[in-house]
Amino acid sequence: MSANEDAITNWFAGQRKLAKSDFPIGIGDDMAQIRLAKDTSVLITTDILLEGVHFDFATATLKQIGYKAMAVSISDCAAMATIPIAAVVSVGLPKGFGQRQLKQLHAGIILAADKFNCKLIGGDIAGWKTKKPFVINVAMLSKPAANKPVKRSGAKVGDCICVTGSLGGSGESPDYKHLTFEPRVKEAIEIAKMVTINAMLDISDGLSSDLNRICRQSGVGAIINAEDIPISPQAVRLSSPQAKKNKEPLKAALNDGEDFELLFTLSTKDCEKLLKNWNNKTAITKIGEITNTNKMQIKTADGKIKNLEISGYDHLKI
Amino acid sequence: MSANEDAITNWFAGQRKLAKSDFPIGIGDDMAQIRLAKDTSVLITTDILLEGVHFDFATATLKQIGYKAMAVSISDCAAMATIPIAAVVSVGLPKGFGQRQLKQLHAGIILAADKFNCKLIGGDIAGWKTKKPFVINVAMLSKPAANKPVKRSGAKVGDCICVTGSLGGSGESPDYKHLTFEPRVKEAIEIAKMVTINAMLDISDGLSSDLNRICRQSGVGAIINAEDIPISPQAVRLSSPQAKKNKEPLKAALNDGEDFELLFTLSTKDCEKLLKNWNNKTAITKIGEITNTNKMQIKTADGKIKNLEISGYDHLKI
């Protein structure tokens, strides 16, 4: 159960009431929204990436780490269908880390920043007294697009559940998709232009955990079809004899996390319209429906309906 | 020389030009400013605090660490004479760290937040796979007060140099002022109401380093009077026989850092006006003048003028 992280987040959210007029979106979504004037608001997200957890120097270059740190936050902007504006980046540096390494990291930060027209406008540098570990935090601002920022809590019974791209195996060699993924900003804004998205987030901890978040925050249930889940080539390879991992691709797609694909719900009518008119190289797949059961369910290939195990990544799992 | 950190910051700032119309203040100040509409802008700062560097579990409670993390960023809001609005907090947790510890940390975050009416609106939780270390990052938004946000780069030849409070010994027992200090938000806004502040920052790395930043960014020099520098009781105690540290209080005041007092410059006329009318329990002391020498100088008690050694904390010093 991905319950610990969500439980404490709920507890935090309950400690102080935020005035809706000043903070239309508060704790517990992909970004918080701050109203600054009648027609002007800004959104903010923060993401911390830890050595040995979100990346490893054995498999990632500093440039890739810089890119990933920015891309994770840009993906949060996409999750609300908002437009990235600017970022500030903090780093905790291992002893001996100098200007050369910072410039490599910067190259990755700028690669992502330039691609999404998100400016690097500040930061903070601190050094550990030890040779380990490296840590990087990105805080990013975005602004609403033509649509209202899309929350997690708007899923309605009968909605179709859709995802972009394909899922699973994001941490697997040789691709290490989690280091090079393309945040779905353009896709999110394009979808929001075509239809009304009722609820959305980006899949960071795994489809099962993140769909559960939409359902809990919307007060609904869901049923997904195992056969419809778009499984990534990286996850498919896991079951090949060469992989020797004996890992089930479907499970990888459900629980691996760090896919950074969009997971969203919309009315059946809008779903039909979207799938009919969608003309983008990033696939959109309908994977299930929102139900009034309050349960998370999965229909397997043999037609049986089972409870969906929520077993994505939980940072507070001990 | 506190040169490494500043050198790389300059390098970062030089890599991409930011449009002044969208980003009136960019990389290299206490906060960056983003214009969102004609008359609406927001400022952002980010600060990362590392276990063993900015705090230690031997001398700090989790509540104190939460308070400090917020107070450091609130102090940045003060440094621009702006009003804190909201913060997002990221943490990297040692293995075994659970909800109980997060609630203690939260108590300190909220203590600072409530005191300065700065709302906690979001965050990120990640867990190391190891028992160490703890890291916390705060990103904070502020809005301009009646004054324009005060930059570091506006010091003028002939300006008086002033500081709030007293300096040095912030890390010394039993007070550990660096954990409990009161950011000077109200003072900054009050000063800005009374006079025009030409340049300002908050002293985080030490008076010598931070005054040097104002001078470098303003293209001026400075001379300070050793006898006028307000030395904190904590720094004075360092030279007592009991302290056994044999550390010179003046050096502590010049270089210890983490004072989080305001350092600012203003015209002689405004300085006179301010000192005459200032009626706040936080002292303001004139400590020197901005010069056209391009040098950093100090006048010692015997009347001699020496070069001021810049030896505050540098996170990139190896």
Domain match, A116 and A196 both: no
> A203-260, pLDDT tens digit by residue?
999 999 999 999 999 999 999 999 999 999 999 998 887 766 668 999 999 999 999 9
Give the per-residue pLDDT at B244: 62
Sign of the C-alpha dihedral computed for residues B187, B193, B196 and B200 taken in this order: positive
Q: Can you list the residues of chain B whose pLDDT is less than 70?
A: 1-3, 243-246, 317-318
Cα gap B264→B152, rounded to integer Å: 8
CB-CB neighbors (< 8 A) of B24 in chain A: none
Distance from CA of B61 to the nearest CA of A (A): 19
Distance from CA of B67 to the nearest CA of A (A): 16
Give the per-residue pLDDT at B243: 67
**Which domain, by its residues, includes A166?**
160-307
Instruction: Measure Cα distances from B262 to A153, B10, B99, B189 in Å.
Output: 43, 23, 36, 11
Q: Angle, nearest 10°, between helix axes B185-194 and B268-277? A: 120
Give the per-residue pLDDT at A2: 47
| Candidates B47, B109, B119, partner chain A, best to mutate (most A CBs within 10 A) | B119
Backbone region of residue A274 per phi and psi (left: phi > 0; alpha: psi in -120 to 50; beta: other values): alpha
Which among A103, A124, A318 is the nearest to B48, CB-wise? A124
Domain match, A224 and A105 both: no
CB-CB neighbors (< 8 A) of B54 in chain A: 126
Q: How many domains does chain B have?
A: 2
In a domain, B290, yes or no: yes
Domain match, A170 and A301 both: yes
In a domain, B152, yes or no: no
> B25-60, pLDDT tens digit by residue?
999 999 999 999 999 999 999 999 999 999 999 999
- Cβ–Cβ gap A88/B46 under 8 Å: yes
- Cα B210 to chain centroid distance, Å, stands at 8
Which among A15, A44, A126 is the nearest to B315, CB-wise? A126
CATH number at residue B139: 3.30.1330.10
Instruction: Please give the residue that has the higher pLDDT: either A188 or A317.
Output: A188
Instruction: Measure Cα distances from A106 to A52, A69, A110, B141 in Å.
Output: 20, 11, 6, 23
Amino acid letter at A197? I
Which among B5, B34, B95 is the nearest to A141, CB-wise? B34
Which among A11, A90, A315 is the nearest to B137, CB-wise? A90
Give the per-residue pLDDT at B1: 34
Cα gap B243→A230, rounded to integer Å: 67
3-state SS track over A72-87: HHHHHHHHCCEEEEEE
pLDDT band for position A317 (cuts 50, 70, 90): low
Domain match, A187 and A288 both: yes
Domain match, B87 and B139 both: yes
Q: Is the pLDDT of residue A109 over 90?
A: yes
In a domain, B199, yes or no: yes
Picking from A144, A170, A202, the residue at the C-terminal end of a domain is A144
| Candidates A20, A93, A121, A152, partner chain B, best to mutate (most B CBs within 10 A) | A121
3-state SS track over B66-121: HHHHHHHHHHHHHHCCEEEEEEEEEEEECCCCCHHHHHHHHHHHHHHHHHCCCEEE
Question: Token match 């005060």: residue?
Answer: B150
In a domain, B18, yes or no: no
Report residue B216: phi and psi, to 5°: -60, -45
Q: Is the pLDDT of residue A201 over 60?
A: yes
Report residue A284: phi and psi, to 5°: -120, 130
Question: Token match 């960019």: residue?
Answer: B26
Give the per-residue pLDDT at B317: 65
List the alpha helices (DSSP H) in chain A.
Answer: 3-15, 62-79, 99-115, 177-180, 185-194, 207-218, 233-236, 249-255, 268-277
Domain match, B132 and B203 both: no
At B131 the three-state DSSP class reads: coil
CATH number at residue B192: 3.90.650.10
In a domain, A33, yes or no: yes
Interface confidence (ipTM) of the complex: 0.96
Give the per-residue pLDDT at B2: 47
Query: For chain A, what percent of residues have pLDDT higher than 90?
Result: 91
